[in-house]
Amino acid sequence: MAAPSNKPVGYQVSVIVLSLIVVILGTVIYMQVKQDREKQVALAASEKNRQGVEAALKKRDEEFEDFAKLTGNGTATSEYGLGDDNITKVRGAGLADIDKADVPAERTYKAAINKLVQQSSDLKQDREKIRLDLEALQKNLLDLQRQYDVQVKTQNDGRVRAEGDLTDATKSKDEEVRAKQKVIDELRQSVNEAATELENEKTAHATDTKKLNEEITKLTAINIRLSNDIDELKKVSFEVPDGFVRWVDNQNGRVWINIGEADNLPKRMTFSVYNKSHNGVARGSEDIKGAIEVTRIVDAHTAEARIIKDDLYRPITKGDPIFTPIWSPGRRENFSFVGIIDLDGDGKSDRQKLHELVAGAGATIDNEVDDNGKRIRYTKFPNDFVDHGEGVPGIDVNTKFLVIGQIPDITLAAKDEDKERIARILEKLKQLKGEAQQQGVRIVNLNDFLSWIGYQPQRRLYVPGTEQGDYPLKAGVRAAPVDKVSGQVSGAINGNKRIKPATSNNAVSPVFNK
């Protein structure tokens, strides 16, 4: 039996493949058509939604434009400006309108309208009250007018009667009046002559008074000048020594004085030391031979002090008087100061150091003129004070000295502010001098005051290249020999003329070893 042919099988396969392809293509076309229909439906829905959004947006724009016109800001830009206070935008312009109503809390049209309505209501009430007051005033005015008319009528009737009576009295009194008028004229002439004479006497008296006042002023100035000259020549002082030197240890620079704990003597108090044959303490510096500073309180009437200044040719000895004006046993001394306070001559103000010296001694400053020419009165020295003015006390009998510091020369001032400052100082100086002269307070200069209290200025070692007040120097080619100032005063320049005995080290000079 012969084998079957392959052609029909291949044909069948081709038919099957074609059928499958047709089915797949049909399925794909069906799915594509279905998807296209779904997309068309979705597109139609999207178009419908877009139209709805555009309609809503258009409605929103119309409402926004109507709101802008309603608020009076229709001319502003169509942009709302959320979060923006720019007045060119609707929101900013609206807020600007609200702010005109001065709403203290929330910035809304409702709050602004409510406040304006309230203000309008208040204004209506005020207007009604004013209207009622006006009606009451008009009523009172009408009543007063009626009373005035009645009084005018009464006065007119009285005037008519008085005029009639006056006419009758005038007729009957003409001769009497003429006679009296003649007497009056004579008296008036006498009064005028007396007034002229009195005026001439007043003028002459005023001229004499002016001349006498000028002479008094001149004599007062001469008296003050002569008093100052006499005081400068005689230097009369009613001060007495505060104590005396009991013992002296010149080798160690120590002295012991006859005042101590019972006298309330504080440590570090400085005294000036006088010659035994002095012409009076607190007169000048010629009788001062040295200065001491209390270092230790020994007992009730003894204290130890170190010599801070003495003279080789006038050494401090037993029995020498000591004196300081800023301390007295059992009493607080008062002082007044004016002028620049420069204690060490470095061109800088040492007013704070002066306050420390005075306060440390238990004394006080009652009146002071600072470096700017401001006068103050201390109520509790040194921290509490008030500006001097009307009603504020000045120098009185409790003030011991008026101390005058350095007074700048106004002709040397270059700046206007310096001239004004110096002018204020000079004005306050004149005031304080006048008060001191009236109260009998002694006027002294700062240098004498410092010498009386035994003050010694501290001079420090100069380091090249550093600024020392108003005297700057340039550094040389060699480095500075020290790095800083220790605060100790060199013994070679401390102004102490006392020479301590030389000491031996038991070594033989090389000259004698040859």
pLDDT of residue 298: 94
* Residue 287 confidence (pLDDT): 83
Quickly state the pLDDT bin for 44 (edges 50, 70, 90).
confident
Please state whether 465 falls in left (phi above 0), alpha (psi between -120 and 50) or beta: left
Mean pLDDT value across residues 415-432: 93
288 and 273 in contact (C-beta within 8 Å)?
A: yes
Would you place residue 77 in the very low, low, confident or very high pLDDT band (cuts 50, 70, 90)?
Answer: low
Choose between 360 and 458: higher pLDDT. 360
For residues 217 and 195, which has the higher predicted lDDT (pLDDT)? 195
Classify burial at 365, counting beta carbons within 10 Å of its beta carbon; exposed 0-12, middle 13-18, buried 19 or more. Answer: buried
The closest alpha carbon to 333, from 271, 399, 397, belongs to: 399
- Other C-beta atoms closer than 10 Å to the C-beta of 470 total 8
Cα–Cα distances in angstroms (integers) from residue 23 to residues 10, 17, 29, 35, 197, in the given order: 20, 10, 10, 18, 156
Lowest-confidence region among 63-72, 350-359, 412-421, 473-482: 473-482
DSSP count for the chain of H helices, then E strands: 6, 12
pTM beyond 0.85: the answer is: no
- Whether pLDDT at 342 is above 70: yes
| Dist CA 453 CA 403 (whole Å) | 13
CA distances from 229 to 16, 225, 338, 404, 460 (A): 153, 6, 21, 17, 38
Which of the pair, 168 or 198, is modelled with greater confidence?
198
pLDDT of residue 105: 67
Residue 448 in contact with residue 336, Cβ under 8 Å? no
What share of the chain has pLDDT > 70, as a percent?
79
| pLDDT tens column, 298-325 | 999 999 999 999 888 899 999 999 999 9
**Residues contacting 438, CB < 8 A, separation 6+:** none
Q: Tens digits of per-residue pLDDT, 179-208?
A: 888 889 889 988 998 998 898 888 888 888
Q: What is the reported pLDDT for 406?
A: 92
Between residues 155 and 237, the one the model is more confident about: 155
**Rounded-to-integer distance, Cα 359 and Cα 357, Å:** 6
- Whether cis (ω within 30° of 0) applies to the bond prior to 325 is no
Beta strands in 423-501 (DSSP E): 442-445
Q: Evaluate whether 363 touches 417 at the Cβ level (below 8 Å).
A: no
Mean pLDDT, the chain, whole residue set = 81
What are the domain boundaries of the chain?
245-452
Q: What integer pLDDT is reported at residue 228 of this predicted model? A: 62
Residue 21 predicted with pLDDT over 60: yes
Contacts of 50 (CB under 8 A, 6+ apart): none
Residues 6+ apart with CB under 8 A from 267: 294, 295, 296, 297
State the Cα–Cα distance between residues 161 and 183, nearest whole angstrom: 31
Kindly state the helix (H) or strand (E) to which residue 245 belongs, with its residue range. strand 243-249
Residue 73's pLDDT band, with cuts at 50, 70 and 90, is low
For residue 111, what are the CA distances in angstroms to 11, 82, 123, 156, 473? Answer: 94, 20, 18, 65, 75
Poorest-confidence range of 194-198, 424-428, 458-462, 499-503?
499-503
Is 260 a residue whose pLDDT tops 50? yes
Give 199 or 113, the one with higher predicted confidence: 199
CA-nearest of 361, 346, 351, 360 to 403 is 351
The rounded distance, in Å, linking the Cα atoms of 487 and 479 is: 20
Q: What is the DSSP string of 362-395?
A: T-EEEEEE-TTS-EEEEEETTTEEEE--TT---S
Helix (H) or strand (E) run with residue 322 in it:
strand 321-323
User: Residues 131-147, buried b or exposed e (16+ Cβ, 10 A)?
Assistant: eeeeeeeeeeeeeeeee
Give the distance, in angstroms, between the CA of residue 52 and the centroid of all CA atoms in the same chain.
74
> How far, CA to CA in Å, does 285 sit from each of 288, 319, 450, 498?
5, 19, 10, 19
Look at 78-87, 160-169, 310-319 and tell me which has the smallest mean pLDDT.
78-87
